Amino acid sequence: MVVKVGNSGILIDAAFQRDADRITDLYQLGLGSTFDGAVQQVPNPAEAKNDATFEQAEPERVDLSELDVGEQQQILSDAGFYVTDPNHRFYGDEIPGPVTNHAIALYENPEYAASHIVTAMNDPKLTESEMMMLQGDFKALGFDVGVTGRLDDATRAAIDSYVEQNPNIESPKFLGEDGSLNTSSTLNQQWNEFTAKLDDSNFLSPLLGHIRYYEAKGGNYNIEAGGAIKPYTTMTIDEVMESQVKSLAAQKAAGVPDGELSTAAGAYQINHPTMETVVSGMGLKGDELFDKAMQDSMAEHLLVTRGGLEELVSGEISELAALHDMSKIWAAIPDPKAGGESHYKGVGNNRALTSVDKMVDTLKQVKSKFEVAQQEEAVTTPIAGTTTTFTNDLG
């Protein structure tokens, strides 16, 4: 049985709720009109096996804070908030990445799902990891969904049901007109097709050079966190990621404090959780070389999907706004919203290694080079999930 709150409220599986007050809390997150206090029990077609009510015993919760990551992930998988397929690369990887952290938040406070779903529905694209988080949300709300990272039939059904039963929630922006999923790989592919026409993306050279210089001690493609040298450019992506996992385990065994643990690798110091997201977003198989060209491509992918690059060159946001986004990717890049300090100041030894003014000048160079290249060749390329079209009269 499910519970409906208010005249146009959200449907929640009663088996996952402790009491009516918690449903009231969900409703007050903005998922309905003015709360009228009415709680209705309505049949759930997918749950005809019993008449679960609020008197159902609350499932016992384990204190995850005292457990290591592997133990946490096992409990989260058992609860349905994390990957259950032993063949999935996330399963039992013992990496405290964004999917694991999100699953912990859901386990400790299932009501968090309601507010996160609203955010996810408004995202124009979803990576595999972001889809897994959304699936965890639906699981927390009682839907029969597995955390797979794929837009499978069960997930489609959950999305359709959720939107139908919550009229204040719009259809997800991450679905294309044909119902297909807008992914970062789609965005990245179209961006690459676009930049290939702009002299092999040379307009990004100043920016990529600056990031490499400050993140990797002069731009070394074979450097890992701490300054040690590894032959990354001759290793496959899978080998690099395996190396990151082993490095993390060795650091923990050596007693390195949590705030100083790092799996950053290469010229752009990409850590393991970010690497997983990028590999998925770019549609890579893992057998590709982590060479200079690949590392540059990964940095471009991050700039496009998380760094505000598209919005910057199209004139939608300022250099300072784009720099703020980029500072959340790279700790050595200053955050203008943090007074020019690193966005991650206070975490380990992170600090900004250049100034806001210097980075703004670099972003202005990028934008200028883009505009010149665009004037030389008329290009019209829509970017997936956005309303932006690049043309020769941009700006």
Tens digit of pLDDT for each residue in 347-362? 888 899 999 999 999 9
The pLDDT, as a whole number, for residue 281 is 82
Residue 141 and residue 191 in one domain:
no
- Residue 206 one-letter amino acid: P
Over residues 152-176, the pLDDT tens digits come to 889 999 999 999 988 888 888 888 7
The pLDDT, as a whole number, for residue 295 is 95
Residue 281 and residue 161 in one domain:
no
- Residue 90 one-letter amino acid: F
Provide mean pLDDT across the span 284-307.
91
Contact present, 99 and 125 (Cβ < 8 Å): no
Residue 82 and residue 223 in one domain:
no
Residue 111 and residue 157 in one domain:
yes
Instruction: Name the strands in the sheet holding 39-42, side by side, starting at the edge strand that comes first in the sequence.
Output: 11-13, 2-5, 39-42
The tally of domains found in the chain comes to 3
Residue 305 and residue 346 in one domain:
yes
In percent, the amount of the chain with pLDDT more than 70 equals 74
* Buried-exposed string 33-45: b where 16+ CB fall within 10 A, e elsewhere: eeeeeeeeeeebe
Over residues 298-322, the pLDDT tens digits come to 999 999 888 888 888 888 889 999 9
Over residues 201-256, the pLDDT tens digits come to 477 888 999 999 999 988 899 999 888 999 999 999 999 999 999 999 999 999 98
Residue 293 and residue 154 in one domain:
no
Residue 117 and residue 21 in one domain:
no
Residue 319 and residue 239 in one domain:
yes
Mean pLDDT of the chain: 76
Residue 19 and residue 90 in one domain:
no
Provide mean pLDDT across the span 332-361.
92
- 86: domain range? 64-165
Residue 226 and residue 272 in one domain:
yes
Provide mean pLDDT across the span 172-184.
72
Residue 140 and residue 245 in one domain:
no
- Alpha-carbon distance values, 292 to 118, 203, 219 (Å): 38, 17, 11
Over residues 11-51, the pLDDT tens digits come to 333 333 333 333 333 333 333 333 333 333 333 434 433 33
Q: How far is CA 135 from the centre of its chain?
A: 13
The pLDDT, as a whole number, for residue 151 is 83
